Chain A
């Protein structure tokens, strides 16, 4: 969208920031794809949870000196990848608490805050570095005139980014004109899905996965050490839709251990 404008200087900075970070993780020559979650995990505590809302892609909360990022796992997988890269920008370059809205990541309106535009540009540079994109295009023997909607869909699938991100990215590196980009962006989501189906490159299924950082591990450890009751353990595991039994904790196991009072008196000695 022409209204959402970053200056050439700001674009260059986003590119330098992305390349610098890719280099620091030794990932310049690789399509990043879902490895972005690994990088996110190394930099923040991450919660994966199905929010069942197409408009909220996640949130970022800083509390008690720690960063928590939630990724909505009920949205398309390529959008989850993009959300992770977008949030890395906020983590590394612009801290704050925020809700991650589809309207801002997809730049659906003309009044997107500047730092969101920067985060989007960073994410695009991080996930789709120009060199790698040109390399893919060369390998597939696609020249500029041949770039049609099918090519955009294919390239988006290769880099695991949303179709719209790829359309914009091709314009950013001048592989397509602004007018072509506008036409690609105007293709409705349903049509893009149909093209994917037709080409046999459907998206990875929406995982709806629940993964809550160290919750299960620490809850089980705390229980094993007698620090929390079974009721508390059940409560904590219920957040992750699981039970002590499912995690291999039986009632007998706990009974065979010394009681808490016995443990207390042992500790006192």
Chain B
């Protein structure tokens, strides 16, 4: 059952590269799934089992390497007992690395940008850890 409460149009391209859906990349959807799994204490494998897909396919969805369609997004939302909106939410960061509390102590705007860039690097390192752990 589709319960989409998102504004149309929803654009999905089959190509792997730079796939976006209303500006939300599959990588962001993947990150959201990862975060929500963590919140619910579920593993990627649990979700893969419930959706009837392989661990490898699940891992690709989570890393944003696999295009997924509206029906699949809806199924994932239903399985996780969350709304589709939750899955399509755009986080400013690819992962939930908490804001660096010391950011305010940095006086130079230039340095703040560089530190925030490194904050992204840390998020990506953690995401890559998850991907590599899945294998």
Contacts and interface: CB of A to CB of B under 8 A. Distances in A.
A268 B65 contact: no
Contacts of B17: 229-231
Given A219-B128, A227-B135, A260-B65, A232 B101 contact: no
Contact of A232 (B56, B65, B129, B132): B65
Interface stretch (A3-11, A105-113, A123-131, A209-217): A209-217
Interface in A21-49: 45, 47, 49
B57 A225 contact: no
A53 B129 CA distance: 30
A57 to B, nearest CB: 11
B63 A264 contact: no
Interface in B21-65: 27, 54, 56-57, 59-60, 63-65
Nearest to A264: B57
Interface residues of B, number: 41
B102 A99 contact: yes
Contacts of B98: 63
B70 interface: no
Q: Which range holds the interface residue count of chain A?
A: 35 or more
Contact of A218 (B105, B120, B132, B134): B132
A242 to B, nearest CB: 13
Given A63-B122, A231-B18, A239-B121, A214 B128 contact: yes
**Interface SS majority for chain A:** mixed
Contacts of B118: 47, 49, 59, 70
A64 interface: yes
B102 A45 contact: no
B97 interface: yes
Contacts of A68: 122, 125
B106 A61 contact: no
A213 B123 CA distance: 12
Contacts of B110: 52-53
Interface of B: 16-18, 27, 54, 56-57, 59-60, 63-66, 97-98, 100-102, 105-108, 110-111, 114-115, 117-122, 124-126, 128-129, 131-132, 134-135
Interface of A: 45, 47, 49, 51-53, 55-56, 59, 61, 63-64, 66, 68, 70, 97-99, 101, 212-215, 218-219, 221-222, 225-232, 236, 239, 260, 263-264, 267-268
